[in-house]
Amino acid sequence: MSIIRVLLVFFVFVSISHGQINRTVDKDSIIHLHSIAKELSTQRKFNEALSVGQKALASSNFIENDSLIAESYRTLGIVYIRMEYNKLAIENYRNSISYYERSNNQKGLMKIYNNIGYYLFKQKKYEEAEEQLRKSLALSENFSTDLSSIYPKYNIGQLFLDKKEYSKASDCFQKVITYCDTSEAYSATSKLLPTSYYFNGQALLGQQKIKKATEAYQQVIALSDENDPNYYELLALTYEQLIEVYSLQKNESGELNALEKHIQFYELHKKKQKDKTFEEILLKYGIDAYESRLEIIEEDRKLKEDYINWYEKLIYVLIVSLIILLLFTGFFYLNQRWRVRTNALLSKQNRQLFEAKKQIENVSKIRSNFFSLISHELRTPLYAIIGMTNLLLLEKPAEYQEKYLKSLKFSGEHLLAIINNILQMNKIEASKMNTVEEIVDLKKSIQNVITSVSFLVKENKNTITIKYDEGIPDQLLGDSLKISQILFNLLDNAVRYTYDGNITLAISKVSETNEHITLKFLIKDDGLGIPQQKKHIIFENLEKGVVLSEDNGYLDLGLGLTTVNNLLRVLKSKLHLKSVLNEGSEFYFQLELLKTETEEETTTVFESKVYNFSGLTVLIVDDNAVNGLLTQKILERKQIETKVVHSGFSALDILDEQEFDLILMDMFMPKLNGVETIEKIRENNNNIPIILLTAMEISDAYAKVVDAQISGVISKPFEPEMLYDKIDTVIKAINEE
């Protein structure tokens, strides 16, 4: 009996320990969600920030952790403040108080009372604000070594200054100044000290202490960096106060100098505000403005067509009436008259419709160019990020460094996938996407997709099960790239919203004829799921997400499912969904593929292929110094001799002096771009092989260099083995000739 009791005690101890470990993992995840929400709000991605904040709150309530619940409410308050919803911010701050008290988090209470007091003061609710700030001030005595302990004194000083209680205000700001001068916690990059001098100067000026106020304002100028845009507003306000001070002192030269400085920094501050506002407006409304204009033009065109149709019917009725009421001569006269008018009106309407069509085409062209430019500008730095990460991984880093580098590579590749999804959507909307018929290796595609999401699978502690019908023929024809993109987006979505769960990827045969085979693709998970009333939203184009419930947070579906739905539409298929909230989701679709008797080509395995580039010399032409260096390092790993130049003109000059076996040419360069440089090289009867490296998509790149004599195109970012294989192919082709 005693043995059984010992075993029961051991079992209970192990169970409790396991629960504590899981709870620790949950706490870390929630703390990470707080950081993500705050970062998203600084980027003005408020919907996503609120989604993550609500998810953190729901998780905190689930594990019943009062401290994390309080921090979740505080995080939501910060997001609402940045959205300028002060009422909602204060409401969330107040919600956190009871939870901070339960968890005895005195420091958290100090910060919350300070935040509530500050924003009540901004709303001119002085009595309530002072009450909250005094509570924060009382708690701050326990945290004198922490910089946050001085902010209640700083904020209550502003309140006294606003109430014109200048002596109290000056006392507060003098204590803040003393703290900043003596405390090791204060950072020299903080604006707390110069702003405290500025407010103290206002308080001293209110007490008619002109000399001390002047000294305070001079301290502001001494502590402020005139070249830092963050100080423009403070310097403009300080010099504005000095104008008043020098005026009282009858110091005309000082007053004039202060006026000049005030105007200088005021204009710089306004320019900064204007540039910031313009960037936000352009970011938020730029594309929407073009789309709205397209809709207006289309509506106007329809109205004009309706008007023309109505007018033609009216003419017909009038003509019939005139036949009955008038003589043939009168009818002929009136008929001719109306016909002339109608032709003139139709001619005018046709001209207007022609102009409307031109406007629509121009807007469509602007949009297409915009997406191409964004693609190039985003892919260019991604090439450096992913490429440098690959090189560092090849240097056999320490284990902890390898983990960070793999995480960085995954993030870069995920961002590249998002960019590709956006471009796919733009092409589909512009009706520029066609299907490609090529050999489809389903097993290889599945392996590549699993590899792409393996990092996130490990992070979310998931397992993936593959179910593949062995009755599927090895030889199939279809659009391999689009199938891989569809499977990647669906699997990535399943992995992303499943935690410590199981995911199944199943491919089965539905039907088969002598020429075709119909396959069913299924991706199933036991993750968060989607509510019944919201399932239809994921099939709407550019939908941002699905609201699960007020208590359950916000599930962001992103662009992945929209891209899948659009790609399946191109492949003449449709995405289906079965989902139960908190139990999981099941996405499936069917594709009809061609069977083929063609012998499958041997797939090149980059990792095992051996290259012989001995004595090979390559000229790298890239205006981006970082990307040029990266390409050089990639080639030098295979003992290839390289030379890097940063413009088309430099390339032409060095080709006059030195011979190379191959040129790697960037597409976009200032003054003389890649295509123009190639044309100049060919004018000199130089037949050196040229491979084009570009941040554009390959299909778009080939469209731009259709007449250029090149040996191939590689889209950045790329795996080093892809470049080695292309160079090997080109060099072998030259040697065979």
Torsion sign over Cα 189, 193, 199, 202? negative
In angstroms, rounded to a whole number, what is the distance separating the alpha carbons of residues 261 and 609? 68
pLDDT, residue 579, reads: 87
Mean pLDDT (the chain) is 80
pLDDT, average across residues 433-456: 80
Quick one: pLDDT at residue 685?
A: 72
β-pair partners for 692: 665, 713
- Calculate mean pLDDT across residues 63-72: 86
- pLDDT tops 50 at residue 9: no
Q: Which of 281-295, 325-339, 463-477 has the lowest mean pLDDT?
A: 281-295
What is the residue whose two structure tokens read 């419930």?
549
Q: Would you state the structure tokens that stand for residue 529, as one six-digit string?
A: 């799921």
Average pLDDT over residues 290-315: 69
pLDDT given at position 649:
92
Q: 504 pLDDT exceeds 50?
A: yes
Say what the pLDDT of residue 543 is.
Answer: 42
Q: Where in the chain is the domain with CATH 3.40.50.2300?
A: 608-736
User: Regarding predicted confidence, which is higher, 686 or 52?
Assistant: 52
Residue 682 to residue 710: CA distance in whole angstroms: 10
* C-beta of residue 721 within 8 angstroms of C-beta of residue 606: yes
Q: What mean pLDDT is predicted for residues 167-181? A: 88
**pLDDT of 605 higher than 50:** no
Domain 608-736 has CATH 3.30.420.40: no
pLDDT of residue 559: 62
The per-residue pLDDT for range 629-683, each reduced to its tens digit, is 889 988 988 899 999 999 999 999 999 899 999 999 988 888 898 888 888 888 8
For the chain, percent of residues with pLDDT exceeding 70: 80
> Contact at 8 Å (CB) between 393 and 402?
yes
Asked whether residue 603 carries a pLDDT value surpassing 90, the answer given is no
Q: How far apart are CA 343 and CA 347, in angstroms?
A: 6
- In this predicted structure, the answer to whether residue 328 has a pLDDT above a threshold of 80 is no
The pLDDT, as a whole number, for residue 545 is 40
Residue where the block lists tokens 């003596």: 182
305 pLDDT exceeds 80?
no
Q: Each residue of 505-546: pLDDT tens digit?
A: 999 999 999 889 999 999 999 988 887 766 666 666 544 444
Inform me whether the pLDDT recorded for 297 exceeds 70.
no
Confidence of residue 600 (pLDDT cuts 50, 70, 90): very low
**Cα gap 255→247, rounded to integer Å:** 6
Q: Is the alpha carbon torsion for 345, 351, 354, 359 positive or negative?
A: negative
Contact 224, 235 (CB under 8 A): yes
pLDDT over 90 at 91, yes or no: no
**Residue 509, SS3?**
strand
pLDDT score of 18: 42
- How much of the chain exceeds pLDDT 90, in percent? 12
pLDDT tens profile 445-466: 888 788 778 888 888 899 999 9
- For strand 662-666 and strand 690-694, is the pairing parallel, antiparallel, or unpaired? parallel
Pair 154, 191: CB distance under 8 Å:
no
Express each pLDDT in 543-572 by its tens digit.
Answer: 444 433 443 443 444 567 778 888 888 889
Q: For residue 375, count CB atoms less than 10 angstroms from its CB and return exposed for 0-12, middle for 13-18, buried for 19 or more.
A: buried
Provide the pLDDT for residue 81: 83
Question: What number does CATH give the domain 438-595?
Answer: 3.30.565.10
Phi, psi of 506 (to 5 degrees): -125, 135
Give the model's pLDDT for residue 374.
67
> Which residues of the chain does CATH 3.30.565.10 include?
438-595
Say which DSSP state 515 is in.
S
